[in-house]
């Protein structure tokens, strides 16, 4: 017992002396023990206080939520080689077809977003089509490792479907995907880029955090993805609170033709504000990016926060009324809807 105690203590001391493998003194977001945001690294709000509020606070009756699910024209998507399109699958999952390159954003085809299959947030709106109906996928982009964005069962199926599909993930996630036998994977720091045919993909900052368990908070990076084709720049922000990061992206990479911005999972504000924008703050991101068109995502599929399921859509419309210059250039899509993008 004595030797076990000595060995355990030595292991803990040794581990404490080890540097975070991604530590870089020249990059403030890559700290000695974890990753950090660029602008707000104040302590996270108390998760257990939020859960206690949810148990004890009386809630109003929620209206029935039955959003329209469009029958996706998968034959068109499978055959499309020339038109730029966006298809909203649900939540933050989308298919982008840009300059003949088929790109999946945070694909989640599982029924739950949880570490286990029998509990956790359940899909409340059916998938508009099945994974095998997707066209050939060239690139899969993952914004961060939360279960509603990095769905390993879906990623495994995509890798088994086509060994040539390239998986791009934030720093710290490559080994996890490789352990799932996903071999064609690369990991990225903020502002690093790779080219897929005629599209340049750049990993960009956001204000968020990561964890898949109780003891791995912020050990992997988070962010969004900028896509630059022949003439149609797109930014998918990933999950984020409102910060100066989007003015920085605009200054560094230019204005975008299309922005995909989260609008859901924002209540209660005292808990969610730092990590998730509300619809009005999503408009601020749209403005900072000087986007020609923005689409609201991260809503209407899984119950992840305390607002009603239809609230992001309704509050977005209210926010647009108070910002008339946004009318017509910020919209939400129907599940399964295909939007043809014109330059």
Taking only the tens place, the pLDDT of each residue in 195-253 is 999 999 999 999 999 999 999 999 999 999 999 999 899 999 999 999 999 999 999 99
> What pLDDT score does 11 carry?
37
What is the b/e burial string over 303-323, where b = at least 16 CB atoms within 10 angstroms of the residue's CB?
bbbbbbbbbbbebbeebbeee
Q: What are the angstrom distances between the C-alpha of 204 and each of 45, 149, 250, 286? A: 25, 16, 11, 15
Of 17-21, 124-128, 286-290, minimum mean pLDDT range: 17-21
Confidence of residue 328 (pLDDT cuts 50, 70, 90): confident
Residue of 6 and 194 predicted with greater confidence: 194
Domains belonging to the chain, first-starting first, are: 78-341 (3.60.15.10)
pLDDT at 13: 38
Residue in 290, 285, 245 with CA at minimum distance from that of residue 263: 285
Banded model confidence at residue 18, pLDDT cuts 50, 70, 90: low
pLDDT of the residue at 343? 59
pLDDT confidence tier of residue 117, bands split at 50, 70 and 90: confident
Please determine, for residue 35, whether its predicted confidence score (pLDDT) is greater than 70: yes
- pLDDT band with cut points at 50, 70 and 90 for residue 7: very low
Whether the per-residue pLDDT at 69 is higher than 80: the answer is yes
* Least confident range of 95-104, 154-163, 165-174, 319-328: 319-328
Residue 8 confidence class, pLDDT cut points 50, 70, 90 = very low
Cis peptide preceding 268, ω within 30 of 0: yes
pLDDT band at residue 257, thresholds of 50, 70 and 90? very high
Q: Where are the beta strands (DSSP E) in the chain?
A: 84-90, 93-98, 101-105, 139-141, 166-170, 185-188, 193-196, 199-204, 224-228, 234-236, 258-262, 293-297, 330-332, 338-341
**Packing angle between helix 245-253 and helix 279-289, nearest 10 degrees?**
20
Is residue 336 within 8 A of residue 69, CB to CB? The reply is yes
* pLDDT tens-digit readout, 264-305: 999 999 999 999 999 999 999 999 999 999 999 999 999 999
Q: Which residue has the tokens 């209206």?
A: 63
């Amino acid at each position: 017992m004595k030797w076990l105690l000595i060995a355990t203590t030595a292991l803990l001391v040794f581990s404490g002396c080890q540097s975070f493998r991604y530590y870089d003194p020249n990059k403030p977001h890559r700290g000695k023990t974890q990753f950090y945001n660029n602008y707000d690294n104040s302590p996270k709000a108390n998760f257990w206080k939020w859960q206690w509020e949810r148990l004890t606070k009386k809630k109003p009756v929620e209206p029935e939520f039955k959003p329209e699910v469009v029958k996706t024209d998968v034959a068109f998507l499978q055959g499309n080689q020339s038109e730029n399109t966006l298809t909203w699958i649900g939540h933050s999952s989308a298919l982008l077809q840009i300059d003949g390159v088929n790109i999946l954003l945070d694909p989640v085809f599982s029924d739950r977003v949880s570490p286990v299959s029998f509990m956790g947030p359940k899909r409340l709106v059916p998938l508009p089509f099945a994974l095998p109906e997707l066209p050939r996928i060239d690139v899969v982009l993952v914004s961060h490792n939360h279960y509603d964005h990095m769905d390993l069962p879906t990623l495994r199926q995509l890798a088994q479907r086509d060994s040539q599909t390239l998986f791009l993930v934030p720093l710290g996630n490559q080994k996890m995907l490789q352990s799932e036998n996903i071999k064609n994977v690369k990991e990225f720091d903020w502002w690093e880029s790779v080219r897929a045919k005629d599209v340049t993909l750049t990993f960009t900052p956001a204000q968020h955090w990561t964890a898949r368990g109780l003891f791995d908070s912020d050990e992997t990076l988070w962010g969004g993805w900028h896509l630059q084709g022949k003439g149609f720049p797109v930014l998918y922000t990933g999950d984020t609170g409102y910060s100066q990061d989007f003015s920085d992206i605009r200054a560094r990479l230019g204005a975008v033709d299309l922005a995909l911005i989260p609008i859901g999972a924002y209540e209660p504000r005292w808990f969610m504000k730092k990590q998730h924008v509300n619809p009005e703050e999503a408009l601020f991101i749209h403005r900072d990016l000087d986007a020609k068109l923005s689409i609201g995502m991260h809503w209407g599929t899984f119950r992840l926060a305390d607002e009603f399921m239809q609230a992001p859509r309704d509050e977005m419309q209210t926010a647009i009324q108070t910002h008339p210059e946004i009318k017509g250039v910020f919209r939400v899509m129907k599940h399964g809807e295909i939007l043809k993008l014109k330059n």
